[in-house]
Chains A and B, each alone.
Chain A
Amino acid sequence: MTSLGDIITLLEAGDFEAATREFEGLASTDQLDAVGRVLYSVVLLRSNRMAEANEQIGRLSDNELASWAAGAVVSSRQEEGLADARLDPPPDRRPEIIACLRARDFDRACALARHHITTVPSENKGKARALLARCLELSGSYTEALSNYALAVDLSPPSNRLFLRAGRCALQCKRYQTANSYFAIAHHFGDNGPATLLRMATAEIGLSMWARAHNLLTSALVKAPDKLEVICRLAYVELQLDRAEEALARLNTLGTEIENWREAWLWRIEAQRRCGLQDQSFEEATRLCDRYPFYGPGRLLLGDLAMNRQDFTTAIDCFRRILSDESIRLRSGMSNADVERRLQLCLDSLKQAGDDSTLGTVLPEQATSRAIPAMFQPKTGFSHDAAKGTFGSALTQQFGVIQALLLREVRSRFSRNKLGYLWAIIEPALQVMVFYLIFSAIGSKGINGMPLILFLTTGVISFSFLQNAYANASDAVAANRPLLIYPRVKTFDVVLSRVILQFCTSIIVLVIFLIGVLLYGETYPIRNPLEILFCLVLLCLAGMGMGMAINALATMMRSLPMIFGQVMRILFFTSGIFFTLTDLPHDLQMYLQYNPFLHLVEIIRDNFSYARPPEWTDLTYATSCVLVLLLFGLVSHVALHRKILAS
């Protein structure tokens, strides 16, 4: 069977036809890898067989194609500019690039090499490409380096060094198959040094071809009998082939030198374990973990060995360390879940054995029995109220908190959206307008001798005191949660300041609307301003009580605010905003007059009316209802205070 190396020899000799035949043979049995395909398509292109070349290119993966195409574009551009180049040959940048590489300035070297490729004449393109690939390899971009090596192989006379480097890159990219073929070419060209053999073996190990790796390593060992890496890798392969005795014998020849290479040391311990040397392997594993405390596989092996010896304390220590320390990484293919399973197994075995002294109960016992140092001895005789200060200072402090919260609310309302306060007017204005249009359409000019617009305005605005106070109180805590970190700011302060601000806003809105009604052309008296204010405060307090209660109870029942939203809607339609009680049928009156807000709205409205106030309104009843609501709100807020804070 011919290999890629044979074909390249043919190409070197200029025997295109023979090479093409060989390629055809390989392609028909599908034995070409990416590099082979690229080479084959180049050969086809040169002999003008475009369709077949196209097919070969089509089989390449996108990445390979992209890098190759990039190279092709570069070279075509270069040919265009060839005339200029001939007239004025560009300076040779190679020495500069190599100097950069020597100085380990890889990024600069890469940039220079990229530029170098575009300027170099076509006969030197291969060398330039190889140089770029070398730069990329050294800077750690192995994938890109690999594709550049592939191009370099295509462009320049084959050299061992090139193939070896390409193979090494492929190893780094974990593309063992590709690496294998590069090494095979290098090997074919007569590079039989132990280093090459070792690399080929690494590729085979990557492909889990243990037997082949073993053969390669054995021949490498013949050539370099003292090479540490060859011996260790060979032992590793033998472990994989279940030939633990051989591996152990091989590793034992290294003596203590092995301790400088933790993987090899781990393999020796593993070999000892497989050979049944339990004590020796445990001892060595302990030493390994002492020397390399953050080496995950070592720690895991020690844990396993300890488990086998029924030494659960050590095993638990190992597994816990692996799980708790971020810097300990396990080998790929091993997950934390595996370790957790082992840990659980150990803990269970310990519990069965009835010995749980390692489970962490020892220390707190010591902790409680320790004497408290004098400095921390609990003192008595301090004044319990010392920190609180006088009533006056407490009041100033409380005032400061409320003031700060009020200003904060004002700020955030303005900053949230430009409408801000305008919205406080637009919303009730819309409600009044809708009702007004409907009622006028029905043909109503007024209710109970009161002009329609005044009737609706007093109803809608009065009820908005209740509604807005409720809305503000119920989400006050959620909206100010970060500020509750300040120990001086209590949840009640937050609710209170929000409600106060809402009350002030609503009063301003009421005044604006009353002026609006005046401008509209309706006149009205204001009989008892104090009574109006009292009723408005009551509505606000009722809203606050409900808001606090709902916010507190919502910690136990998530959907409560939604359900209560419907209650508010029912209240909106039954609180006499657009009707008076006496307009309704007698049966309905019976039930509706238990609604305290109906009374409050009616009392407020009557203070703006020339007519004699109705007799059914009852301020005492309404006041007591509101006080009960407020009390309920406060009590539930205090009772569920912890939950509100924690929610």
Chain B
Amino acid sequence: MIHLVDLEKSFLSSQGRHVVLHRTNLSIPSDMRIGVLGMNGAGKSTLLNMIAGSEPPTAGRVYRECRCSWPLGFAGSFQPNLTGIENILFAARVYGVDGDDAVAFASEFAELGEYINMPVRTYSAGMKARLAFGLSLAIDFDIYLVDEITAVGDRRFQEKCRKAFAERTSKSGLCFVSHNEANIRALCDIALVLHNGYLVPFEDLESALEYYGSIMRIE
């Protein structure tokens, strides 16, 4: 379980205070495939970063009763001057995993070939995403926090990721953040909608998608 306790996030901008998340109290099950729907700029990535612990909230706390992955997203967690292997080894050391196993698994999954020995700055966005996926799957997490990333890469790779997650659902959960209804539908069992600073939970996927659709029509 991940518990959001009095969680709040806002930014100060020149136009005043901008609320990304109003005070929220929720408990999120960590053994399910959960989707968070929200339009561009709704604060989905910020929410995911707070859940992971990469970004501090303005108020409140997140309690994690499980091993959460880092937020897998476009921002990327790779040092551009290090090679793919060195970046894998770094994460393996940070998470206390055997380095050789991690390198073997991640490089096989990411299918980077020779590029695995090149600095990450030479990678394309798709290659970085593949590496991030392979690396996170090489480390055993209870819940994987994923930020729109499946949109990257070709169809075959997307299919591969979907399969890899499907295999793991028996023991691991997924928290997937996206603005794309089709992706949420394909990957998740249940969904929340983030809109205007409110994180709204739904009992089933269809009602969440319906609510999201009605927001889209109004905005």
A349-376: CB near B (< 8 Å → 1, else 0) gives: 0000000001010111001101011111
Q: Which of B90-98, B152-160, B165-173 faces chain A? A: B90-98
Bound CA span A403–B95, Å: 11
Q: Considering only CB atoms, which chain A residue lies closest to B78 in the complex?
A: A482
CB distance from B21 to the nearest CB of A (A): 12
CB distance from B148 to the nearest CB of A (A): 15
Bound CA span A178–B140, Å: 69
Give chain B residues whose Cβ lies under 8 Å from the Cβ of A212. none
Q: Which listed residue, B5, B71, B201, touches A376 by the CB 8 Å rule? A: B201
Give chain A residues whose Cβ lies under 8 Å from the Cβ of B79. 408, 412, 480, 482-483
Give chain B residues whose Cβ lies under 8 Å from the Cβ of A70. none
Asked whether, in the complex, the Cβ of B70 is within 8 Å of the Cβ of A377, the reply is no
Asked whether, in the complex, the Cβ of B86 is within 8 Å of the Cβ of A408, the reply is yes
CB distance from B127 to the nearest CB of A (A): 15
Bound CA span A368–B193, Å: 12
Chain A CB within 8 A of B210 CB: no
Bound CA span A540–B28, Å: 45
Bound CA span A641–B57, Å: 12
Bound CA span A400–B70, Å: 16
Q: Which listed residue, B1, B3, B26, B90, touches A483 by the CB 8 Å rule? A: B90
Give chain A residues whose Cβ lies under 8 Å from the Cβ of B54. 484-487
Asked whether, in the complex, the Cβ of B93 is within 8 Å of the Cβ of A415, the reply is no
Asked whether, in the complex, the Cβ of B63 is within 8 Å of the Cβ of A384, the reply is yes
Chain B CB within 8 A of A527 CB: no
List residues of A (371-398) whose CB comes within 8 Å of B's CBs: 372-379, 382-384, 386-387, 396-397
Chain B CB within 8 A of A419 CB: no
Bound CA span A407–B203, Å: 47
Chain A CB within 8 A of B122 CB: no
Give chain A residues whose Cβ lies under 8 Å from the Cβ of B78. 482
A316-340: CB near B (< 8 Å → 1, else 0) gives: 0100100010000000000000000
Give chain B residues whose Cβ lies under 8 Å from the Cβ of A324. 219
Give chain B residues whose Cβ lies under 8 Å from the Cβ of A358. 218
Asked whether, in the complex, the Cβ of A400 is within 8 Å of the Cβ of B218, the reply is no
List residues of B (40-93) whose CB comes within 8 Å of A's CBs: 52-56, 63-66, 68, 70-71, 75-82, 86, 89-91, 93
CB distance from A283 to the nearest CB of B (A): 20
Q: Which listed residue, B52, B56, B93, B202, touches A407 by the CB 8 Å rule? A: B93
Bound CA span A407–B89, Å: 10
**Interface secondary structure of A, over-half rule:** helix
Chain A CB within 8 A of B29 CB: yes
Asked whether, in the complex, the Cβ of B201 is within 8 Å of the Cβ of A375, the reply is yes
Residues of chain B at interface, number, CB under 8 A: 54
Q: Considering only CB atoms, which chain B residue lies closest to A372 in the complex?
A: B201
Chain B CB within 8 A of A488 CB: yes
Residues of chain A at interface, number, CB under 8 A: 48
List residues of B (180-219) whose CB comes within 8 Å of A's CBs: 190, 192-193, 195-198, 200-203, 214-215, 217-219
Q: Considering only CB atoms, which chain A residue lies closest to B55 in the complex?
A: A645
Decide: A363 near B27, CB < 8 A? Known: A404-B94, A408-B86: no
Give chain A residues whose Cβ lies under 8 Å from the Cβ of B82. 408, 411-412, 415
CB distance from B42 to the nearest CB of A (A): 12
Q: Which listed residue, B55, B68, B86, B214, touches A411 by the CB 8 Å rule? A: B86
Chain B CB within 8 A of A155 CB: no
Bound CA span A270–B31, Å: 57
Bound CA span A644–B91, Å: 22
Q: Considering only CB atoms, which chain A residue lies closest to B86 in the complex?
A: A411
Chain B CB within 8 A of A642 CB: yes
List residues of A (53-78) whose CB comes within 8 Å of B's CBs: none
CB distance from B35 to the nearest CB of A (A): 13
Give chain B residues whose Cβ lies under 8 Å from the Cβ of A645. 55-56
Asked whether, in the complex, the Cβ of B93 is within 8 Å of the Cβ of A404, the reply is yes
Chain B CB within 8 A of A429 CB: no
Give chain A residues whose Cβ lies under 8 Å from the Cβ of B94. 400-401, 404, 486, 488-489
Bound CA span A465–B33, Å: 51
Bound CA span A376–B63, Å: 14
Decide: A415 near B81, CB < 8 A? Known: A400-B93, A485-B76: yes
Chain B CB within 8 A of A416 CB: yes
A396-429: CB near B (< 8 Å → 1, else 0) gives: 1100110110011001100110000000000000
Bound CA span A368–B25, Å: 12
Q: Considering only CB atoms, which chain A residue lies closest to B207 in the complex?
A: A373
Give chain A residues whose Cβ lies under 8 Å from the Cβ of B86. 408, 411
Asked whether, in the complex, the Cβ of A372 is within 8 Å of the Cβ of B218, the reply is no
Bound CA span A419–B111, Å: 33
Q: Considering only CB atoms, which chain B residue lies closest to A379 in the complex?
A: B27
Asked whether, in the complex, the Cβ of A396 is within 8 Å of the Cβ of B66, the reply is no
Decide: A377 near B64, CB < 8 A? Known: A360-B219, A363-B218, A641-B56: no
Q: Considering only CB atoms, which chain A residue lies closest to B61 in the complex?
A: A384
Asked whether, in the complex, the Cβ of B1 is within 8 Å of the Cβ of A487, the reply is no
Asked whether, in the complex, the Cβ of A370 is within 8 Å of the Cβ of B200, the reply is yes
Asked whether, in the complex, the Cβ of B63 is within 8 Å of the Cβ of A364, the reply is no
Give chain A residues whose Cβ lies under 8 Å from the Cβ of B56. 641-642, 645
Asked whether, in the complex, the Cβ of A486 is within 8 Å of the Cβ of B190, the reply is no
Bound CA span A362–B217, Å: 13
Asked whether, in the complex, the Cβ of A376 is within 8 Å of the Cβ of B1, the reply is no
Asked whether, in the complex, the Cβ of A368 is within 8 Å of the Cβ of B198, the reply is yes
Asked whether, in the complex, the Cβ of A364 is within 8 Å of the Cβ of B70, the reply is no
CB distance from A389 to the nearest CB of B (A): 10
Decide: A373 near B71, CB < 8 A? Known: A483-B79, A642-B56: no
Give chain A residues whose Cβ lies under 8 Å from the Cβ of B119. 415
Asked whether, in the complex, the Cβ of B93 is within 8 Å of the Cβ of A482, the reply is no
A631-647: CB near B (< 8 Å → 1, else 0) gives: 00000000001100100
Q: Considering only CB atoms, which chain B residue lies closest to A485 in the complex?
A: B77
Bound CA span A384–B65, Å: 9
Asked whether, in the complex, the Cβ of B203 is within 8 Å of the Cβ of A379, the reply is no
Bound CA span A484–B218, Å: 38
Bound CA span A378–B2, Å: 10
CB distance from B25 to the nearest CB of A (A): 4
Asked whether, in the complex, the Cβ of A379 is within 8 Å of the Cβ of B3, the reply is yes
Q: Considering only CB atoms, which chain B residue lies closest to A479 in the complex?
A: B79
Q: Which listed residue, A378, A382, A484, A488, touches B26 by the CB 8 Å rule? A: A378
Q: Considering only CB atoms, which chain B residue lies closest to A486 in the complex?
A: B70
A480-506: CB near B (< 8 Å → 1, else 0) gives: 101111111100000000000000000
Asked whether, in the complex, the Cβ of A387 is within 8 Å of the Cβ of B203, the reply is no
CB distance from A164 to the nearest CB of B (A): 44
For the A-B complex with A382-B3, A403-B93 known, give 13 more contacts whose Cβ atoms are closer than 8 Å.
A317-B217, A360-B196, A367-B195, A376-B28, A382-B1, A384-B63, A400-B93, A404-B94, A482-B75, A486-B54, A488-B94, A488-B95, A645-B55
7 closest cross-chain pairs (CB), A and B:
A487-B53, A404-B93, A485-B77, A376-B201, A373-B203, A378-B25, A367-B198
A-B contact pairs, 11 of them (CB 8 A): A317-B217, A320-B219, A363-B196, A373-B203, A375-B29, A376-B26, A376-B192, A404-B90, A482-B77, A486-B91, A487-B68
